[in-house]
Amino acid sequence: MTSPRTRTPRRAGALLAAALLLTTAAACTGDTDRPDTTPVAAQISGPLCAALPAGDEPGNPTYLAGQPVGAALTWMPTLTTFEAALRTSGLLPDLERDGITVLAPTDDAFLAKFSDDTWDTLMTRDHDKLRTLVKAHLIAGTHTLDQLADAGTATTLDGATLTVTRTGDTTRFGDKADAVCADYQATRARIHIVNAVLGPLPTTADGSGHRAH
């Protein structure tokens, strides 16, 4: 017959295993009910990435992974125009509640697209057009660049369908916007920086590399 001294460690071990199993199950259940907001080291890629904060610099990719999308954009020095447009459009609060993928044009892309007069009008008076413009750069859900390229198409919040094509190291949206630094993470968001403005609004810049006056 097994002695009490022999049985006690086995019983304790069984109880410990059961407790660990219950703890693990509870943790897993909780994870399905809320998004994971733990910052992780984002693996960004593209030719523009070298000009953006890295390592321990303020605004580095790992830091941005723990920020809401609006705050993350403020740390990207090449996206000041798009960040201002997003805030002025009034769409930002909804984006920070839901999962979103942002195709963010650079400041140079906006300079090549719009004259000063046209841009000032969009920012001060034509907010319906501004919202449509911003929505042309937003995709519901959080998608890596590889996922978008593998799908081949993506539907933006303005209802347009973009083709997404990968050619060598380049991934292109529509017929003109190339990803130049992709796969930034933010809370409930992915940010891909592109080098052209999307959407149906006509080009009004004079083509000289600066906005017309």
Q: What is the pLDDT of residues 83-125, one digit of tens each?
A: 999 999 999 998 888 899 999 999 999 999 999 999 999 999 9
Q: Both 53 and 122 in a single domain?
A: yes
Burial 66-94 (b: 16+ CB within 10 A, else e): ebbbbebbebbebbebbbebbebbebbee
Q: What is the pLDDT of residues 146-204, one digit of tens each?
A: 999 999 999 999 999 999 999 888 999 999 899 999 999 999 999 999 999 999 999 99
- Whether the pLDDT of residue 53 is over 90: the answer is yes
What's the predicted TM-score (pTM) here? 0.79
DSSP 32-48: HHS----------BSTT
For the chain, give the mean pLDDT. 83
The mean pLDDT of 72-93, rounded to a whole number, is: 96
- Tokens at 66, concatenated: 């723990």
Q: Both 10 and 104 in a single domain?
A: no
Q: Both 164 and 124 in a single domain?
A: yes
Q: Which of 116, 110, 138, 136 shows the shortest CA–CA distance to 198?
A: 136
Element (H, E) at 155: strand 153-155
- Whether the pLDDT of residue 37 is over 60: the answer is no
How many structural domains are present in the chain? 2
Does the residue 211 lie in any domain?
Answer: no
Please report the pLDDT score of residue 41 as a whole number: 53
Does the residue 131 lie in any domain?
Answer: yes
Q: Residue 200 and residue 203: Cα distance in Å, rounded?
A: 9
- Range(s) of the domain holding residue 17: 1-34
Does the residue 58 lie in any domain?
Answer: yes
Amino acid at position 103, single letter: L
Q: Both 83 and 16 in a single domain?
A: no
Chain-centroid distance of CA 186 in Å reads: 6
Element (H, E) at 179: strand 177-186
Please report the pLDDT score of residue 10 as a whole number: 41
CATH number of the domain that residue 158 is part of: 2.30.180.10
Confidence band of 42 (pLDDT split at 50, 70, 90) = low
Please report the pLDDT score of residue 169 as a whole number: 87
Crossing angle for the helix pair 80-89 and 116-124, nearest 10 degrees? 30
